[in-house]
Amino acid sequence: MAEHSSPTLLMNDGSKIPVIGFGTYAPEYIPVSLSEQATEVAIEVGFRHIDGAHLYQNEKEVGRAIQKKIADGTVKREDLFYTGKPGGDLIPMDKDGKAQLDATTDLCAIWEAMERCKDAGLVKSIGVSNFNRRQIEKILNKHGLKYKPVCNQVECHPYLNQSKLLEFCKANDILLTAYSALGSHRHKDWIDQNSPVLLEDPVLAEIGKKYNKTSANIAIRYQIQRGVVTIIKSYNPDRIKENFKVFDFELTPEDMKTLDGMNRNLRYVDIKLFYDHPEYPLHDEY
């Protein structure tokens, strides 16, 4: 059973979100069955935020794990916060089944579809992922906006601390959620394998020694103290347990300043498949 409960942050719609979440994405070489096992372990350890997506192609397995942990009494459904990311079914289509997307309408059209889902009770909160400042502003300035985004999930870690985007989101009462919070080398098709390994950085190791914590613990705690919701992925049961041990210590202001200094504006995740799309978010500074 969990040694600590996960603190929560209040979102702008009044709902609360656990500050750390278990990420369920895995590269194709990892058997999909492990998604179910890893999610069960995560819930047993104490994770109460599960981060999934249609794109991950393992929602059934993750769902079964959640159902098992509810059935055996580990958690109640109301204890869990599930983040989902829909597929293409929310994209407006014309009568011939062609996607009606262009540079000026796609984001707002999809947002309106999500607002209808909230009105219908299909979702409790609506957030965005991989949005830059300009795209968020487009939503916030949309005529007739009913619900502003509660969060923006982006790549964020000590090598890419997203300080400007974080400041902008905080100013607009939008939470920043970090994926690839421990760096990433898993997907060889779209991650440069020559990029530095975040968790091998001596700065993280040195700070970790002070608290008898791992480099991963330090990277996670750094985000928590910045007010960033942090998604952590692992399919190793021991690492899942170790990664949750971040609520029994606190980094000093000096530590936080040192970690801020690690920023290199280095992206691990740069999906060039969408590079030519007019709304590709990474062309902007933030």
pLDDT band at 106 (very low <50, low <70, confident <90, very high): low
Across the strands, what pairs with 229?
177
Is pLDDT at 129 greater than 80 in this prediction?
A: yes
Of 80, 280, 136, 134, nearest to 126 (Cα)? Answer: 136
pLDDT at 93 over 60: no
CATH homologous superfamily, domain 8-15+84-238+247-272: NADP-dependent oxidoreductase domain (3.20.20.100)
CA 169 from centroid of its chain's CA atoms? 15
Annotate 137-202 with three-state secondary structure: HHHHCCCCCCCCCCEEEEECECCECCHHHHHHHHHCCCEEEEECECECCCCCCCCCCCCCCHHHCH
**Using CA atoms, how far apart are residues 200 and 40, in angstroms rounded to an integer?**
28
Q: Which of 56, 179, 222, 235 is catalytic?
A: 56
Could you give the CA distance from residue 62 to residue 234 in angstroms, rounded to a whole number? 14
For residue 235, indicate whether it is catalytic. Answer: no
Report the DSSP beta bridge partners of residue 177: 153, 229
pLDDT band at 103 (very low <50, low <70, confident <90, very high): very low
Mean pLDDT (the chain) is 89
The pLDDT value given to residue 149: 97
Arithmetic mean of pLDDT, 129-142: 94
Q: What is the pLDDT of residues 147-191, one digit of tens each?
A: 999 999 999 999 999 999 999 999 999 999 999 999 976 666 666
Q: Are 165 and 286 in contact, with CB atoms under 8 Å apart?
A: yes
Q: Where are the domains of the chain?
A: 8-15+84-238+247-272
Helix axes 215-225, 202-211, angle to 10 degrees: 90
The predicted pLDDT at position 272 comes to: 73
pLDDT at 104: 45
Question: pTM (2 decimals)?
Answer: 0.90
pLDDT, tens digit (0-9, with 9 covering 90-100), for 109-126: 789 888 999 999 999 999
Q: pLDDT per residue over 235-260, tens digit each?
A: 999 999 999 999 999 999 999 999 99
H or E stretch including 255?
A: helix 253-260
